[in-house]
């Protein structure tokens, strides 16, 4: 299995990088794991709704350029389906069992994901109704992917 996270913007905070690196290292025994960063679109603080759509569209094009046809894509979105860690673990196992060995997760920028990215996604996943910084979301997602593998292994890590 190959797992990829596509994130908008550069991760600057060392503590996020360190946490992600730790889980990425642990994931190495289960899967090929990578994080792909695409540049965020520079924009002023106050944007009109059409300017916001333009920013999301440009970021969306960058995201879509990193996704191959065969990849199964999860878009992270507040309106997506919430899953328990056990359900998420089972879903990843089923995807691999039924021929989806390339799984990609997409985390949008501060304005969210463009409609074209949502349309390309096979499923939407939500980590609840909280708004979280997209940098923190990378760490949380990486940990949950690791947790999913540990659940499948029957490891006490999950308890």
122: number of CA atoms within 13 Å, CB side? Answer: 16
At how many degrees (to 10) do helices 134-153 and 14-27 cross?
20
Residue 132 annotated as lining a ligand binding site: no
- Sequence-distant (≥ 6) Cβ neighbours of residue 147 within 8 angstroms: 85, 89, 157, 158
Q: 3-state SS of 16-60?
A: HHHHHHHHHHHHCCCCEEEEEEECCCCCCCCCCHHHHHHHHHHHH
Residue 108 annotated as lining a ligand binding site: yes
- CA–CA distance, 117 with 32 (Å, rounded to integer): 23
Binding positions for S-adenosyl-L-methionine: 76, 108
């Amino acid at each position: 299995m190959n797992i990829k996270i596509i994130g908008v913007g550069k991760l600057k905070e060392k503590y996020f990088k360190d946490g992600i690196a730790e889980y990425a290292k642990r994931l190495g025994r289960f899967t090929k794991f990578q994080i792909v960063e695409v540049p965020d679109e520079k924009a002023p603080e106050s944007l009109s709704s059409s300017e916001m759509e333009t920013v999301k569209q440009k970021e969306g094009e960058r995201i879509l350029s990193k996704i191959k046809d065969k990849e199964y894509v999860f878009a992270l979105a507040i309106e997506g389906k919430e899953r328990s860690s056990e359900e998420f673990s089972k879903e990843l196992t089923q995807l691999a069992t039924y021929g989806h060995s390339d799984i990609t997760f997409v985390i949008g920028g501060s304005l969210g994901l463009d409609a074209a990215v949502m349309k390309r996604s096979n499923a939407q996943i939500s980590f609840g109704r909280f708004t979280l910084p997209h940098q923190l979301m990378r760490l949380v997602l990486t940990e949950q992917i690791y947790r999913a593998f540990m659940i499948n292994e029957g490891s006490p890590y999950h308890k």
